[in-house]
Amino acid sequence: MKKTLTILKNEIVTLLSRPSFWLATLGLPIVAGLIFGVIGSLNRNQAASQAVSQVFVGPQQTRPEGYVDESGIIVQIPEDVPEGVFIAYPDEQAARQAFEAGEIAAYYVLPADYIKRGEIRYIRPDFSPLASNIGPSDLFLRVVQVNLAEGDAMLATLVNGPLNETEISLAPAPAPDTDNPMTMWVPYTVTLLYYMLIIGSASLLLSGISKEKENRIMEILLTSATPHQLLTGKIIGLGMVGLLQTILWAGTTYLLLNLSGRTFNLPSAIHLPASFLVWGLVFFLLGYAVYASLMAGLGALAPNLREASQVTFVILLPLMIPLFFSNTVFAEAPHGALATALSLFPLSAPVAMMARLSLGGVAWWQPPLAALLLAVTAVLIVRAVAGMFRAQTMLSGQPIKVKTCLRALLGKI
């Protein structure tokens, strides 16, 4: 136990002393937070939003707009509409003359049959596909709606929707909105994030073991510690550092996605529940244990880091499969047979289950079952890889072969 703790502490101190680790750990949340913060600030600050709009669209119109009411609907201008924003004209000819004289920036025409057709003509001087005010402005539509409600401003507001909406769902979870493009990106983002977390932490173990083997340090370590102590200390040490990184990244993802309704107006169905963080930590630790052990075994068998890196694709393939289906299977049918099978299969469960949990509606028994299967797999793989460490001095310098790997896993070497 003492030797395991010594190896554990050494791995933690070595990794935390690297500036590149802190740059990756803190850099991503800071950049993501700044992006969300700037966009949210622009949406809340009308002046800033207009300033940015002027850069891409051009300067906003400061002159009033005119309107011609041939239908006789507009009797009064609501109190919440600033005075002087709209000027009434008796006919379209008078509005056109004022428009050409530069007295108004544009003008609206409500035809006599507006009640039947609901059509408003908007005459403006230019065409800009990026402009936000092509067509009737919300302010002018407000004038029309209040007058249609016979001056009742509250009624006009309620016609467009309730002031406050409380959603009470008796279903396990709302179905994902496949028509919303942001719904397609949530499982992909979560899948990619956990793939990066697990592989990033596991790759550190592969790199460390390969270098120690090339430098012949591995053989010295094995003379003072058993293969199981060496492997356990390295996996737990790097796993603790990876857990810190996971908490920070997953927490940032959780906060940003739950606050994103104020920035990107995401549907509530994709807001992450609090249990997402708990399961996120569970599946990271178990997934890391599996793939870190596999990476360690690869590092023990490979003669050098370059050759080991060429074989990592085979090991990572099961974990990459959910990435291929994240925008199709997990977004469109997150509880279908294929998505469920991938989330229960131990080698793909860490990212597949998290992708499904990000959309909600997963049966209560599936995450615990997936975690149990993953834990059993992790124990079996750690024991098998410990056998590779016993054989690594015998295999030093030999090229990697499939037959050699299988024999090492089965303890035949």
pLDDT at 171: 47
- Residue 102, SS3? coil
Name every residue whose Cβ is closer than 8 Å to that of residue 216 and which is 6 or more positions away in sequence. none
> Which residue from 277, 311, 317 is spatially nearest to 401, judged by alpha carbons?
311
- Residue 134, SS3? coil
| Cβ atoms of 339 and 368 closer than 8 Å | no
pLDDT at 59: 47
Torsion of CA 139, 145, 147, 150, to 10 degrees: -140
Q: Give the residues across from 388 on adjacent strands.
A: none
| Cβ atoms of 242 and 23 closer than 8 Å | no
Helix (H), strand (E) at residue 89: strand 86-89
Q: What is the C-alpha to C-alpha distance for residues 321 and 338, in angstroms, rounded to an integer?
A: 11
pLDDT at 413: 53
Q: Where are the alpha helices (DSSP H) in 302-365?
A: 305-325, 329-332, 337-344, 349-359
Where, residue-wise, is CATH 3.40.190 in the chain?
Answer: 65-159
Q: How far apart are the first and last CA of the chain?
A: 26
> Which residue from 186, 330, 359, 184 is spatially nearest to 269, judged by alpha carbons?
359
Helix 305-325 × helix 349-359 angle, to 10°: 30
| Cβ atoms of 192 and 186 closer than 8 Å | no
| Cβ atoms of 293 and 198 closer than 8 Å | no
DSSP 364: T
Q: What is the C-alpha to C-alpha distance for residues 12 and 241, in angstroms, rounded to an integer?
A: 7
CATH no. for 65-159 = 3.40.190
Neighbours of 285 (CB within 10 A): 20
Distance of CA 324 to the CA centre of its chain: 16
Strand-strand pairing, 86-89 and 65-69: parallel
- Series of mean pLDDT values for 10-residue runs along the chain (413 residues): 79 80 78 73 51 46 83 87 88 91 89 87 66 61 87 78 57 50 66 80 77 73 74 80 75 66 47 73 87 80 72 82 78 82 91 84 89 91 74 53 59 55
Q: What is the C-alpha to C-alpha distance for residues 222 and 390, in angstroms, rounded to an integer?
A: 8
Tokens coding 177: 């909105």
Angstrom CA distances, 33 to 116, 186, 198, stand at: 49, 17, 22
What is the model's pTM?
0.57
DSSP 84: T
Q: Please name the amino acid found at residue 248.
A: L
Distance of CA 335 to the CA centre of its chain: 19
